[in-house]
Amino acid sequence: MDLLEAVWDIATSESTHTSAALFAGLLLFAASGEWIAERAGTINISVEAMLLSGAFTSAVAYDATGSVVVGLVAGALGGMIVAGVQAEMSHRLAADQFVVGLTLNILVLGLAGFLDRVVDPRTSLASVVDVPLLGGIPLFGQALFGQPWPFYLLYGLVPFSWWLMFRTRWGLEVRSSGEDPQAADVSGIDVNQRRRQTIYYTGITSGLGGGFLIFVQIGDFNEGIVGGRGFIAIAAVIFGGWTLKGTVAGSVLFAGALSFRISLQVLGYDQINSEFLQAFPFLVTILGMAIFARQVRPPAALARPFIRGLK
């Protein structure tokens, strides 16, 4: 009975929906780019590093200029720096993409921690913009339409990613590169170039996600700011069966788990083991992967390097 009461309190709390929207927003910035990259046949374990790099460069740029817009642009550039290393190493020099990604995650974490102590950038949250009428919807209004203004970039980014993938020649070539790279190569498509381009796109969206962390969600920078959410974004793409609507659904589900953990503590249900609460979002992620991963089909050439003439 106490458990049911706790679940009801959490489900009917506006703060729960607001925090869930913020977590989902961060995951969608990273996952919308990662979805395109994985459709091209590559997995970017370095999403975590892209988010962290974007957050740091956003904080430094804001500290120097006082402009959130400049900070977001710098965040995108910070994500692209990591993406550049991942793309060139994995799809030009044919290094193992998993090893490159893990190395970048460790490198950027250490570098960001060191530079943060040297630079110590000062940041703040962006101004809140309430959408008239929509912001007054019970429970969900403020969560979706009463946020700092960078949050609303998502309403353009997600449809743009879909349009890019399914309504452009470039998107067709990307999908071909992920399904049958040899046939794509015979058709005149530069498979590795397309894969590099999708990684750059992931760098841009994840870098913006890092800026989202600074200007919408937290308002300050530290090296632990990402906290494994880059890996959850990758899991959301897989959970969603490499479809955009599934990726959105996965991001919302995992964000709900993150929000649930925080809401339990905020609403006073602190008798639950704190270590379990800390692990709960990742447990939901693993369970979701275990249930749905076998029921979906990945791109045929996912995680397989392309070398012309070799199958």
Least confident of 42-46, 102-106, 123-127, 254-258: 254-258
As a dihedral over the C-alpha atoms of residue 102, residue 72, residue 74, residue 242, rounded to 10 degrees, the angle is: 30
Judged by DSSP in three states, 34 sits in helix
Question: What per-residue confidence (pLDDT) applies to 1?
Answer: 43
Predicted model pTM = 0.92
The amino acid at residue 190 is D
The amino acid at residue 158 is V
Tallying the residues shown for the chain, one arrives at 311
Judged by DSSP in three states, 128 sits in strand
d(CA 269, CA 186): 60
d(CA 160, CA 49): 24
Q: Is the pLDDT of residue 138 over 60?
A: yes
Give every CB contact of residue 53 below 8 A, 6+ residues apart in sequence.
Answer: 78, 79, 81, 82, 108, 112, 207, 210
pLDDT tens by residue, 23-47: 999 999 999 999 999 999 999 999 9
Alpha-helical regions (H) of 126-190? 141-145, 154-166, 169-179, 181-186
Could you report how far apart the first and last alpha carbons of the chain are, in Å?
A: 58
Contact, 43 vs 63, CB < 8 A?
Answer: no
Judged by DSSP in three states, 250 sits in helix
pLDDT tens by residue, 217-227: 999 999 999 98
Domain boundaries, the chain: 2-126+146-295
Question: What per-residue confidence (pLDDT) applies to 187?
Answer: 93
Percent of the chain clearing pLDDT 90 (strictly above): 69
Looking at residue 218, what DSSP letter applies? I
Q: What is the CATH number of domain 2-126+146-295?
A: 1.10.3470
For 37, 65, 94, 178, 289, the CA distances from 255, given in Å and listed in that order, are 22, 32, 34, 28, 15
d(CA 169, CA 190): 13
The amino acid at residue 247 is T
Other Cβ atoms less than 10 A from the Cβ of 124: the count is: 12
pLDDT tens by residue, 198-257: 999 999 999 999 999 999 999 999 999 998 999 999 989 988 889 999 999 989 988 888
d(CA 188, CA 181): 11
Contact, 259 vs 268, CB < 8 A?
Answer: no
